[in-house]
């Protein structure tokens, strides 16, 4: 196949779609890109849309329609030529040399058009017309059921839900060609679909061919590949356009999550021969692994279950919710490398691709495949009730089918999930009557994938739980998998300490960005103080002038330290310590809670715009204190203290690997350097092993340091002992002494 890339500079024209414009905007545009960034570069919007309250100025262009245009020279070959748009935001019409090719109404998936007959010799003109998404949404019908939604103005539009404003994102209703555009001159026969399914050393290559011919009698299919010294080679004749090729794997190498073994990936060539001549070849990768979601509701004495088993082994899941890398998604590609390096460095073995986001591209999943990072993939719906009209349902079916077919060969994906919190947010309605998640997506998964579980919502309220009266217990918790937000008070409060969820798929705590970062997005005269500060409120993120999240951060500082520093550097330090201790607590409570506890996906690693948030790395890639705490707390092996109970606390050797660990441990008081405990330990595989119980009083405020050796590797952790308020000066002295 031959590709002609059509990225780069296009011409862009725009005007208001609902009022007579004073003038028509005419500027250059970048593809991939978005209108807002092009307007910013041209001077029609502020240069830095994330500074101060500049993002609000972009809202005046929500009613505009836009025309993208560029010229190109057609390829010499005019058969099997396709125009491919990987992402267009959002309501588009496509024209080539004045001939309409088609339309699209979904930003989240690719769209393509065969253009053999529309091409001409010499210069060709490609035009994409984008109509106003918000004007289109305003013409839809809104029954009462939809009026309960979080962001009702976006419920008919297939854009990421965060676009209309979220507590982690500004309102940014973008428009543009946000992913690659290219012409593809395709082979006469090629793979329209391909999927590899395996069961240990047996596998099947499923395929659907695309060809103008109906004669496949002389066609053969071959799959050849390897992972290290494990080989695959199979070839067979093709009877029709659809088929399967069975193969065996010599000495199969299994794919395991980080900490549990190697993330083995097979790299293959899938080939098509006609009359013995190679006519098409694709690269395809896959992993050999079995994934099971063991889930059941609590029932009487049975506390229920929610756990992942990979190759029959229970995995202690520790990782982050993956949220947008940028409010302007066209810029995400340039942030991938640094963001994914953070994922690997901090030690995640799972990422939950949150339902308020776009679907990430192959680069993200390739990284996860080869680094043993499991992916929980939500479909792009969040905190809203969605229409069930025939048109919307068809749009959703096309989207879900396209996403599954694009991504299903990635071994890192261990779960498809219908949406984020839709089951839990609307107690007025039985979530099991949701035709999108209970029927449409379920059918799409069944029809297009094998061996990968499906969860209708996160958290999921089954018919059984709904019949027992469980409604919005998302902040409860009596569900086997849950999101723990609740009052967001002291991080060791009863709400967090006593929750019964086996698997916590969202939980977080605020931490202020560094002063250096704040100065990059708050105007100089508004950097301090934070109270009654409209810019801090907007960057909290709140578009309605509500300062609750700004003041929540202050309350969390006061809760831990008893008072709130007035100096900005001291306040930021106190806030980051509060966040770090909270995130550490959330992770470690899950780890010492085995076997009942099975996983935690905390919120979240990295901001997608500059803000005061739960992220542990800010938009500018500056790490907060919590980053290093989390890195220690979720390492495959760590010594962790349970909470005080019955005049003391238990130390656990938490070993989330398949190798027994033997080592020595020293526990000392950080202030006095007094050694409190010293001894050897043996940590059983894939569990938490009690080492010792040490005496403690709730009234004692101290920091204990755990230092251990396992073979030639050393590690350390700490434990904050006693009830708040604690002394900030005391804490700072320990940080300095032990280089926290």
pLDDT at residue 473 in the model: 47
User: The sheet that has 374-378: what strands, in order across it?
Assistant: 454-455, 413-417, 374-378, 350-353, 317-322, 599-602, 503-507, 481-484
Note the pLDDT tens digit of each residue in 12-26: 999 999 887 678 999
**Integer CA distances (angstroms), 516 to 338, 520, 522, 533, in order:** 19, 7, 10, 18
CB atoms within 10 A of CB 267: 12
- pTM comes to 0.96
Note the pLDDT tens digit of each residue in 462-484: 999 988 887 654 445 689 999 99
Which of 526-529's residues contact partners 24+ apart within 8 Å by CB, and which partners?
A: 526/52, 527/568, 528/568, 529/566
* Sole residue written with tokens 């013995």: 276
| Mean per-residue pLDDT over the chain, rounded | 95
Q: In which band, very low, low, confident or very high, does the pLDDT at 302 lie, cut at 50, 70 and 90?
A: confident
Note the pLDDT tens digit of each residue in 536-587: 999 998 888 999 999 999 999 999 999 999 999 999 999 999 999 999 999 9
206, 197 contact by CB (below 8 A): yes
Note the pLDDT tens digit of each residue in 308-333: 999 999 999 999 999 999 999 999 99
195, 59 contact by CB (below 8 A): no
Residue 705's closest CA among 682, 735, 662?
Answer: 735
pLDDT at residue 670 in the model: 95
111, 48 contact by CB (below 8 A): no
CA–CA distance, 500 with 477 (Å, rounded to integer): 6
- Mean pLDDT, residues 651-676 taken together: 96
Instruction: Catalogue all structural domains in the chain, each as residue range(s) with its CATH number.
Output: 2-184 (2.60.120.260), 187-286 (2.60.40.10), 313-510+583-633 (3.20.20.80), 637-738 (2.60.40.1930)
Percent above pLDDT 90 for the chain: 90
The secondary structure of residue 657, as a DSSP letter, is S
- Mean pLDDT, residues 405-415 taken together: 98
CA–CA distance, 629 with 613 (Å, rounded to integer): 17
**Integer CA distances (angstroms), 141 to 138, 155, 235, in order:** 8, 11, 54
For residues 151 and 683, the model is more confident at 683
- Mean pLDDT, residues 661-675 taken together: 96
Asked whether residue 194 carries a pLDDT value surpassing 60, the answer given is: yes
**Integer CA distances (angstroms), 297 to 189, 377, 378, 500, in order:** 49, 22, 21, 12
Strand, helix or coil for residue 232: strand
* Sole residue written with tokens 């001291």: 570
Residue 505's closest CA among 485, 529, 534?
Answer: 485
Q: What is the 3-state secondary structure (H, E, C) of 452-497?
A: CCEECCECCCCHHHHHCCCCCHHHCCCCCEEEECCCCCCCCCHHHH
Asked whether residue 604 carries a pLDDT value surpassing 60, the answer given is: yes
- Mean pLDDT, residues 485-512 taken together: 93
Torsions phi, psi for 140 (to 5 deg) = -80, 165
CA–CA distance, 719 with 227 (Å, rounded to integer): 43
pLDDT at residue 476 in the model: 53
**Integer CA distances (angstroms), 42 to 25, 30, 58, 59, in order:** 10, 12, 13, 17
Note the pLDDT tens digit of each residue in 118-164: 999 999 999 999 999 999 999 999 999 999 887 899 999 999 999 99
């Amino acid at each position: 196949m031959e590709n002609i890339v059509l990225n780069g500079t296009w011409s862009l024209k725009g005007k208001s779609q609902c009022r007579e414009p004073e003038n028509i905007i005419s500027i250059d545009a970048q593809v991939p890109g978005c209108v807002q960034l092009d307007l910013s570069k041209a001077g029609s919007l502020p240069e830095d849309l994330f500074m101060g309250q500049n993002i609000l100025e972009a809202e005046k262009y929500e009613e505009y329609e836009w025309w993208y245009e560029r010229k190109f020279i057609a390829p010499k070959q005019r058969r099997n030529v396709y125009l491919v748009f990987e992402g267009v935001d959002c309501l588009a019409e496509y024209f080539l040399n004045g001939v309409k090719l088609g339309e699209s109404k979904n930003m989240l998936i690719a769209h393509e058009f065969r253009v053999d007959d529309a091409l001409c010799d010499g210069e060709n003109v490609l035009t994409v017309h984008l109509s106003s998404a918000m004007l289109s949404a305003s013409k839809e019908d809104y029954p009462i059921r939809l009026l309960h939604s979080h962001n009702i103005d976006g419920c008919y539009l297939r854009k990421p839900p965060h676009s209309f404003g979220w507590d982690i994102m500004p309102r940014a209703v973008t428009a543009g060609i946000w992913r690659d555009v290219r012409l593809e001159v395709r082979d006469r026969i090629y793979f329209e679909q391909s999927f590899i399914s395996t069961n240990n050393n047996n596998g099947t290559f499923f395929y659907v061919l695309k060809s103008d011919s109906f004669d496949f009698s002389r066609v053969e299919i071959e799959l050849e590949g390897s992972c290290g010294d494990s080989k695959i080679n199979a070839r067979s004749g093709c009877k029709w356009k659809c088929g399967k090729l069975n193969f065996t794997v010599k000495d199969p190498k299994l794919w395991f999550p980080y900490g549990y073994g190697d993330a083995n990936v097979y790299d293959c060539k899938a080939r098509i021969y006609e009359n013995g001549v190679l006519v098409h070849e694709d690269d395809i990768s896959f992993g050999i692994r079995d994934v099971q979601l063991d889930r059941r509701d609590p029932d009487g004495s049975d506390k229920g279950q929610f756990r992942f088993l990979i190759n029959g082994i229970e995995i202690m899941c520790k990782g982050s919710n993956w949220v947008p890398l940028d409010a302007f998604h066209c810029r995400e590609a340039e942030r991938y490398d640094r963001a994914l390096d953070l994922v690997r460095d901090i030690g995640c073995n799972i990422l939950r691709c949150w339902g308020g986001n776009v679907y990430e591209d192959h680069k993200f999943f390739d990284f996860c495949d080869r680094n043993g990072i499991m992916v929980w993939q939500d479909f792009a719906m969040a905190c809203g009730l969605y229409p069930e009209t025939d048109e919307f349902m068809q749009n959703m079916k096309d989207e879900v089918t396209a996403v599954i077919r694009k991504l299903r060969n990635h071994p890192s994906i261990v779960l498809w999930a219908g949406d984020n919190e839709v089951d839990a947010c609307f107690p007025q309605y039985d979530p099991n009557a949701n035709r999108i998640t209970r029927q449409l997506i379920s059918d799409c998964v069944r029809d297009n994938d094998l061996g990968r579980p499906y969860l209708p919502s996160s958290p999921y309220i089954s018919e059984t739980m709904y019949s027992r009266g469980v409604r919005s217990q998302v902040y409860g918790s009596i569900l086997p998998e849950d999101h723990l937000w609740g009052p967001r008070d002291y991080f060791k409060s009863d709400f967090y300490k006593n929750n019964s969820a086996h698997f916590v798929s969202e939980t977080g705590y605020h931490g202020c960005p560094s002063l250096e970062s704040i100065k990059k997005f708050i105007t100089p005269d508004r950097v301090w103080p934070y109270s009654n500060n409209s810019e801090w409120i907007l960057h909290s993120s709140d578009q309605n002038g509500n300062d609750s999240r700004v003041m929540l951060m202050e309350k969390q500082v006061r809760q831990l330290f008893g008072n709130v520093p007035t100096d900005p550097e001291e306040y930021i330090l106190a806030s980051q310590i509060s966040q770090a201790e909270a995130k550490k607590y959330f992770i470690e409570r899950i780890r010492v809670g085995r076997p009942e506890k099975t996983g935690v996906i905390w919120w979240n690693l990295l901001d997608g715009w500059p803000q005061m948030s739960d992220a542990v790395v800010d938009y500018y890639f500056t790490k907060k204190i919590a980053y290093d705490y989390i890195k220690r707390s979720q390492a495959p092996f760590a010594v962790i203290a349970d909470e005080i109970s019955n005049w003391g606390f238990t130390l656990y050797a938490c070993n989330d690997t398949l190798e027994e660990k033997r080592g020595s441990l020293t526990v000392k008081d950080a202030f006095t350097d007094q050694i409190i405990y010293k001894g050897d330990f043996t940590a059983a595989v894939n569990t938490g092993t009690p080492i010792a119980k040490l005496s403690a009083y709730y009234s004692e405020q101290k920091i204990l340091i755990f230092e251990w050796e396992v073979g030639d590797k050393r590690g350390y952790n700490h434990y904050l002992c006693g009830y708040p308020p604690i002394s900030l000066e005391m804490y700072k002295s320990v940080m300095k002494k032990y280089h926290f």
